[in-house]
Structure 1
Amino acid sequence: MTVIPLTELDPGDTERIGGKAAGLAMLIAAGQRVPDGFCLTTQAYQAGTVPREEVAAAYAELGDEVPVAVRSSATAEDLPWASFAGQQDTILGVRGLDDLVTAIETCWDSLETARARAYREANDVAEAQMAVVVQTMIEPRAAGVLFTANPITGARGEMVIDAAPGRGSGVVDGSIEADHYVLGEQIPLHPGGCLDRAELTELRSVGRRIQEHAGSPQDIEWALDDGGTLWLLQSRAVTSLFPVPEAAGDELRVYMEAGHMQGMLQPMTPMGASVMLQVSRQWFEMFGAKSADVSSLLTIIGGRMFLDLTAFVRAPGIRRQLPESMALYGPRVVAAVEKVLEDPRFTPRRLRIPVGTLARVVARTGPPMVRGIIGALRRPEAERRRVLASAPAVRASCRARSDVTTAQEHLAVAEEVHLDVLSGPMLDALNPLWAAMGCQGLATVLLHGLATESEVSAVVRGAPHNVTTEMDLRLWQIAAEATEHRQLLTETPVAQLVSQYCEGSLPEIGLEGFLAAYGHRSAAEIDVGVPRWAEDPAPVFDALANYLRQGDHDQAPDVRFRRAAAEGEAAIEDLVARARLRRAPLAPLIAFLLRRTRALIGLRELPKFLWLYALDRVRQELLAAGEILAGRRLLTEAGDIMFLDLEEVRAAAETGTDQRDLAAARRATHQREMRRRHVPVVLLSDGTDVEATLPVPENAEGLTGIGAAAGTATGPARVIRDPHGARVEPGEILVAPTTDPGWTPLFLTAAGLVTETGATMAHGPTVAREYGIPAVICVKDATSQIRTGQLITIDGASGLVRVEDEETGSAESR
């Protein structure tokens, strides 16, 4: 049967009736009023010929020669994650069987237009089939669209209606200026608008019922006829909304996106998020805090890490200073927090401080921290040698054990391997960093009026003993010594190079030693679900090819780094000289602080570097468990374990729970979230993207962000959203969503850095300062406002990015 009345459709049968018809079937099942009609299923499309007799019979049921609307209903349409709005055709006012058959064929043909194919490709939809919906036409007095959640701000407590007199097609395609209503607790009125209060109230009530029935916010097309009867023409999920927290409770809460502090904007895998939460709980419990303290502070939303700021926003003694303390995370965060503080729903409330917990944490961490900081200040060289010497021991403690054989045992090791690293070496390695940051901060205060913060931060340029800098320079040295293999390494496809390396047929260039030292790293490396370089060295080959294209000796990474180091030393001499002229009594102290800053700041990457050994071991143990569970047919493949959480793995390992369907669904969700371009910097628990509620700032000079590494640079932009397979030509300015140490090999050829998020003390900007390249962070939508090849000028002190009109003709961005 290829023609089915709408009243007989199964909402779950999308493979046969497509997304639009499934939405109509859902509305009918919910008891809503839908125009009569029928659906021509995908079986007819597959046959390639319109079943004229069946269509004629169904058409006759609607009435003799009645005008109808003919709408596409592709299987890849009105999906929960992609609407395909406007990608296929709708033909209105069709009258007569011949015209109806022609309109159906037109809908079929629209499935393979260039725009429809491009949209499917962008949304990772391999193929689609076309069903067609035919409905009697409603000649409305007014029509439009109802969103049961605000599609701009994400607020789930607001509905948005766009309406216009007559047919709603002009509202849908954007060709007319519609009446715009935002329905919160109150019903607004528009003098001269096409809807009255009663009609708005009815639409809101209907929207609530449909959303409750569908289980998610809906985008609903509707029409009001001359008699005032409301008809529903379509319903589909609102696909653009950022997810809401799962367990926020009834109280409105406020969250700040925190992943950018680790250079992470892409979603974490479910296992990566689960491990991060577990490690955080272990860390807190290790020092006497309760696991509930971290559970309430750190939240995973849409795969991203968010910090719950609600208590701080409400605390009378803290809220006044909160915007200033948020300045570290950029003007976007500051503006959003200020907006939250103006919200009457976040009235001040006394903050309940867990005094006992705080006392236990201070008692356990305070004395060793003070001793470590004093030791670093007194004997920085000795302290540095001591903490650096911990790396081999940490690595040894994280090696695989031969006595681990079952899935349960592999899981147990994955959950315990962190403990020794967290409690000892990693914590110990933080003390020199605290000392360096304290020295730099105090020096900045003492030099106030004599030097800017950017001038003080120049002392860290080319700072020694940074494990990430040493990693990048070591890779550069490999490239410098592999010039005889330049053609092989720059012209061979990366996948082929990886295959040759794994087979052992690649010439020896020192890569094995590099991966032995740094193979536990990668981009997005805090997520155990992400492969390490030792597993997939493709990014390393990309970096080598990038370096081998470098032809300017003065811009060679090692030359640039030595130049940056000289600039850092010169900055100390300059600042001390200023102090001697204007503040002579303080000059010795300022000199001490600046030199201690430079001597110790390079160790800032070491704690994470040590932790990554444990994360790598966790990943390998989980993959081993996944292999066993796949063998038991509880997972489809070993890697699927990264799309479960720790408890779900335990259920599979201990009770034999089949997790194949769950892992597949999670993988699909993760892949969809990977395509999300915008992540709110501040989010309310009702889904509101606070930044979206702010007025758009006007700046005629250019794009603004935070200056994170002093200096200026002018060059062609290179927009890169994923470091895998990317390259930056010498002199280009890297423009990226965010960066972490996995991106830093690209820094060695870049003239400067622009990111959409970040914090001045995050890994990427810190490495940029140490390399001596200017950096501007927190530039909203930089990767969409700037195009690869555009000439841009960045000022790493003021935070200004000026986009010139000309383009240099650089290759397209990834």
Structure 2
Amino acid sequence: MTVDAILGLAEAGGCPRDLVGGKAANLAEMTSAGFPVPGGFCVTTAAYRQVLSEGDGPGLLEELIRVPDGDPESLVKQAGRLWAHALSVPIPAWLETGIVEAYERLSQGEPVAVAVRSSSTAEDLPDASFAGQYDTFLDIRDAEEVLAAVRRCWASLWSDRATRYRAAHGLDRAPAIAVIVQRLVDAECAGVLYTANPVSGNRSEIIVDAAPGLGEAVVSGAVTPDHHRLTVDGESLEGPDDGCLAPAQLGELVAVGRRLEKHFGAPQDVEWAFNGEGELWLTQSRHITTLFPVPESEGEPRAYWSVNVYQGISRPFTPMGASMIRERQRGMAVYMSALGFSDEIIDVDGWLYWDITDGVRSPAKRPKMAAFVESLAAPSGKLVEQLGRDPRFPSVPSGSEQDAPPKKRRRRWERMIPAWLWPDQARARVVREAEQRIAAFSGPAEATAEERLSFVESVRRSACRIEANLPRDANTAGGTGGQLAGQLLRGYVDDAEVATVFRGIPHNPTTEMDLALWRAASAIRRDDEAFRLLLDTAPDELAAKQLAGTLPEVIQSGVAAFLADYGCRATSEIDFGVPRWTDDPEPVFAMLVNLLRAEGEEQDPQTRFEQAAAAAEARIVELTRRLPVTKLHRAILARFLLRRSRRLRGLREFPKFCLMRGFASLRAQLLIIGEEIVRAERLDRAEDVMFLDLAEVREALDSRDFRVAVARRRETWERESRRPRVPSVLLSDGTAPALESASDGGDLSGLAAAAGVATGPARVVHDPNTARIEPGEILVAATTDPGWTPLFLTAAALVTETGGMISHGTTVAREHGIPAVVGVPGATARIRTGQVITVDGSAGVITFAEAAGEPR
């Protein structure tokens, strides 16, 4: 028998997790720290690996590893073969004898009931608990039963549910598993303790579920437990007075829970039991993996608004991306501070927040803050208003200087009037200045790494603040012209009708990007060989061929031309650290394939765009004719302003496009610097510079080795990237407030962001880089940014969980002429792919089609 096949539970302390698994490692650590843990032993992963190496095991494992990504059914099928192997392969005699002897030592010659539980290497992780994924066997009373239960724990590593869970979390396909055998507590009352509320996220509440007998009944859901909600001081907020736990026992649980949280440094999910003598035993403690990270704060409650949600990205920022967006937002600090936002952005594990407490508490600032955030990321504004009524956020005394509203800047009519009179010249001036500024960011072609870094440091501020530094009069005139026209038409035309004249807007770089991709797809469609190649080849393989220059000419040149103009863009592009399409064109090929499936003139975005522009002109005439002859002067002025506004509104997306071009130039320089640091063996990959900030890049160039630090940051970034959603508003106690009026079922409602009605099957998309949207499907997403908009070319409508009237996604949806409803809480969970829905972008309502045998 090998020395590490079986260990006493206390001996497992300090052993590598890949030897004893997560559960045993935690229990051993708890034992060493003096927590009351039942005695037992661990059948380590070395024993499991020995068993797996018998017979067909190695071949079956190799086949599982080779299953292609994105094929969960084949993965589950192959895992089933390993499950059967674990149940049937003979256990070596030496191992069988070792397990029996360990059980006999535990029982001291007398039959003793034990629990046999799995302890996988992929279990009780900070971001994946694997709760309930592996098997547990209770009340096992002899050696033969112990051997059978150990074997079944091994097999549970390959169950359907565990295999799918690992795939969903992007974890190791081929983990190992240890098994814990522990004395079974003769429980009089048992259950689960959460040191933070796992539902609301509130860190100031403790939850205890308890039931008579074994805790497995609570964990499995076999009984309805006593439910206690307490403060961290043990004060009862909710719970029965006649439950199985006495008040003193609840207090003991609260105290041990707080000790465990302090010991492990994070909120804990704890399984516990009181025996007949009233002794408390702990049988498990692990991180609560669903809690969203919260900025550290002390004192009175604080409220935060998510920069990620505001920017339309649902994954954390890279460290370099966070530092760049901080610089960008400093250019807006005066304006944002006047609305009640904190001066600086807070970073927690890549999730960025503004502290909005001052704005929430100010009666003067709150309405302006609410309107601002609602326009960008509904329903954040409603949540701000709701918090203003929350007694935890009392209003600041009226009349104070900080309560004074920001002074209104006088509109510079003398500059907007020329823009209305000569819109093309006004737009051209903005473009010329932008080109001059962007040219200054291109950097040296030949230089040392130190010189390149000095260049990046010298232009960083200008590049990050280009949006604020560009002339804004023409852009302002485009938006103001439409507003003034609406006022002139008021009483005869409503706002929704005015919005219909802003479809098919020219000169919007995001819309132009989408149409350029469509033209590339159309050229490829006319070449049968190229067309079939694109449809039959995986996007990652096409991307590799593009970078190698080996694709057919119509594809190679078409994609190269597209990347020359728009390769600076990407999904989540506001994060400087994210690869651009030039770096990795795989998403471009995925979108091209998507567009190649759209056939027929009715699916031609170029035609639809031109028709929308013609219809908008006709609509201007029709709306302004509603005014009576006595108001002819108003009708003429409104018609003039609407036409001029159309010619200028494309500038709405232009500053962001310029920012992306500047980012791409600086990224190129930093990646070259990264190559130099790799050669010096202080980073593993050039792109690792995106997990540093500029000051650290200089340290790395000098002498500091950042490989360990980057690996740790990457691990955190990858863990946080797997979170299913980002709350737009978060409180310092961890609570993500919900709208008081949120619908519990039936039809869904949100912000009417783009007029029109469309009915079709839903397509819920979490990653646009690999999405497939069939013509006529309705795109449902948590959020969108410009990198998503090529999907709009085939989508019939858009539904998002966040977004506002002036966010990038809704602006482009209006210009493409597809209905959009945004700010729909929980849309990606409440709508299923394939479900037929109707999106009314004029009313802001999503309705569900009746389906046979399916509740509405």
TM-score exceeds 0.5: yes
Q: Is the 8 A contact 2:360 2:385 kept in 1?
A: no
Query: What is the deviation of 1:601?
Result: 0.9
Amino acid at match of 1:275: M
Picking from 490, 496, 501, the partner of 1:454 is: 496
Distance in 1, Cα, partners of 2:433 & 2:305: 34
Q: Is the alpha carbon distance of 1:489 and 1:54 closer, same or farther for their aligned partners in structure 2, counting shifts above 3 Å? A: closer
Aligned residue identity for 1:113 = S
What residue is the counterpart of 1:524 in the other structure?
A: 572
Question: 1:310 aligns to what?
Answer: 357
Question: Structure 1's 797 and 356: CA in aligned 2 closer, same or farther, altered over 3 A?
Answer: closer
Report the counterpart of residue 812 of structure 1 in structure 2. Answer: none
CA distance in 1, matches of 2:501, 2:200: 42
- 1:633 matched to 2:681: yes
What is the aligned partner in structure 1 of residue 276 from structure 2? 226
Matched, 1:141 2:188: yes
Superposition deviation, residue 43 in structure 1: 1.6
Contact 1:427–1:607 (CA under 8 A) maintained in structure 2: no
Q: Secondary structure at the match of 1:413?
A: helix
Where structure 2 has 5 or more consecutive residues not aligned to the other structure, the ranges are 52-90
Structure 2 match to 1:131: 178
Aligned residue type for 2:21:
G
Matches within 5 A, 1:395-794: 395-406=438-449, 408-421=450-463, 427-482=469-524, 483-484=526-527, 485-509=530-554, 510-580=558-628, 586-654=634-702, 656-691=703-738, 697-700=743-746, 702-794=747-839
Look up the SS of the partner of 2:211 in the other structure. Answer: strand
What amino acid maps onto 2:714 in structure 1? R
Distance 1:288 1:118, change over 3 A: closer
How far residue 62 of structure 1 moved from its aligned partner, in angstroms, is 2.7
**RMSD between superposed Cα atoms in Å:** 2.9
CA distance in 1, matches of 2:197, 2:160: 31
Of 133-142 and 577-586, deviating more is: 577-586
Q: SS at the partner of 2:305?
A: strand
Cα 1:618–1:422 change in 2 (3 A) is closer
Distance, in Å, in 2 between the alignment partners of 1:424 and 1:302 is: 27
Aligned to 2:423: 380
Q: Secondary structure at the match of 2:470?
A: helix
Alignment check: 8 A CA contact 2:271 2:285 kept: yes
**How much identity, in percent, do the aligned residues show?**
43
Give the SS at the match of 1:750: coil
CA contact (8 A) 1:330 1:706 kept: no
Task: Please tell me the residue identity of whatever aligns with 1:802.
Answer: T
Q: Per-residue deviation at 1:790?
A: 2.4
Displacement after TM superposition at 1:582 (Å): 8.6
Conserved in 1, the CA contact under 8 Å of 2:325 and 2:464? no
Equivalent residue for 1:811?
Answer: none
Distance 2:151 2:807 in 1: 56
2:250 to 178, 200, 203: 200
Q: How far 1:123 sits from its partner (Å)? A: 1.9
Q: Partner residue of 1:254?
A: 303
Q: How many residues align?
A: 794
Q: Aligned letter for 1:745?
A: P
Cα offset for 1:639? 1.5
**Structure 1 residue 781, shift from structure 2 partner:** 2.5
Q: 1:439 deviation in Å? A: 2.7
Aligned 8 A contact 1:400 1:617 in 2? yes
C-alpha distance in 1 between matches for 2:657 and 2:325: 16
Q: Give 1:414 deviation, angstroms.
A: 2.8
Query: Which secondary structure does the structure 2 equivalent of 1:481 belong to?
Result: helix
Look up the SS of the partner of 2:277 in the other structure.
Answer: coil
Q: Distance in 1 between matches of 2:185 and 2:764?
A: 48
- Residue 45 of structure 1 pairs with residue 41 of structure 2: no
Structure 2 counterpart of 1:103, which letter?
A
Q: CA separation in 2, counterparts of 1:326 and 1:426?
A: 19
Note closer, same or farther for the CA distance 1:502–1:698 as it changes in structure 2 (3 Å cut): closer
Helix, strand or coil for the counterpart of 1:623? helix
2:73 is aligned to none
Counterpart among 64, 69, 72 of residue 118 in structure 2 = 72
Note closer, same or farther for the CA distance 1:590–1:641 as it changes in structure 2 (3 Å cut).
Answer: same
Could you tell me which residue of structure 1 aligns to residue 322 of structure 2? 273
SS of the aligned residue for 2:788 comes to helix
Matched residue, 1:235: 285
Are the aligned partners of 1:162 and 1:171 in contact in 2 as well (CA < 8 Å)?
yes
Question: Separation in 2 of the partners of 1:335 and 1:425?
Answer: 28
CA distance in 1, matches of 2:799, 2:405: 41
Task: Determine the C-alpha separation between the residues in 2 that align with 1:531 and 1:521.
Answer: 9
Q: Does 2:171 match 1:171?
A: no
Distance in 2 of aligned mates of 1:699 and 1:147: 29
1:3-47, CA deviations, whole angstroms, 9 ceiling, x for partnerless residues? 222223325631211111111122223321111212222222122
Shift in alpha-carbon separation, 1:275–1:249, aligned structure 2, 3 A? farther
In the TM superposition, what whole-angstrom CA distance separates every residue of 1:563-589 from its partner, at most 9, and x where no partner exists? 111222122222212234695564344
Distance 1:762 1:668 in 2: 31
Q: Which moved more, 1:764-773 or 1:673-682?
A: 673-682
Q: Distance in 2 between matches of 1:638 and 1:312?
A: 42
Change (3 A) 1:390 1:541: farther
Q: How does 1:15-54 map to 2 (within 5 A)?
A: 15-48=18-51, 49=91, 51-54=95-98
> Aligned runs of 1:288-307 on 2, under 5 Å?
296-307=343-354
**Whole-Å Cα distance in 2 between the matches of residues 424 and 527 of structure 1?**
16
Which amino acid counterpart does residue 661 of structure 2 have in structure 1? Y
Deviations 1:289-316 (A, max 9, x none): 99xx987442334423332211101113
Separation (CA, whole Å) in 2 of partners of 1:713 and 1:528: 36
Which residue of structure 2 lines up, in the alignment, with residue 55 of structure 1? 99
Provide the rounded CA distance (Å) in 1 between the counterparts of 2:719 and 2:649.
39
Contact 2:309–2:377 (CA under 8 A) maintained in structure 1: no
Give 1:195 shift: 1.9
Shifted more, 94-103 versus 575-584: the winner is 575-584
1:790-805 matches, cutoff 5 A: 790-805=835-850
- For residues 479 and 737 of structure 2, the distance between their equivalents in structure 1, rounded to whole angstroms, comes to 31
Contact 2:509–2:657 (Cα < 8 Å) also in 1: yes
> In structure 1, what is the Cα distance between the partners aligned to 2:378 and 2:342?
27
Check whether the contact 1:418–1:614 (CA below 8 A) recurs between aligned residues.
no
Is the 1:719–1:735 Cα contact (8 Å) retained in structure 2? yes
- One-letter identity of the residue aligned with 2:451: E
Q: Which amino acid counterpart does residue 96 of structure 1 have in structure 2?
A: D
**Per-residue deviation, residues 751-797 of structure 1 (Å, max 9, x unmatched):** 21111211111111101111111111122232232233322211001
Q: How does the TM-score come out when normalised to structure 1?
A: 0.91
The structure-2 alpha-carbon separation of the partners of 1:631 and 1:371, relative to structure 1 and needing over 3 Å to count, comes to farther
Contact 2:443-2:455 within 8 A present in 1 as well:
no
- Distance (whole Å) between structure 1 residues aligned to residue 586 and residue 688 of structure 2: 22
Q: Distance in 2 between matches of 1:726 and 1:233?
A: 43
The residue type equivalent to 1:257 in the other structure is: S
Contact 1:708 1:796 in 2 (8 A): yes
Contact 2:837 2:847 in 1 (8 A): yes
**Paired residues of 1:528 and 1:615 also in contact (CA < 8 A):** yes
Structure 1 unmatched ranges of 5 or more: 808-814
8 Å CA contact 2:20, 2:42 repeated in 1: yes
Q: Is 1:14 matched with 2:56?
A: no
SS in 2 for 1:141: strand
Question: AA paired with 1:319?
Answer: R
- d(CA) in 1 for partners of 2:562, 2:180: 60
What CA distance in whole angstroms lies between the structure 1 residues aligned with 2:766 and 2:650? 27
Alpha-carbon distance in 2 for matches of 1:748, 1:694? 35
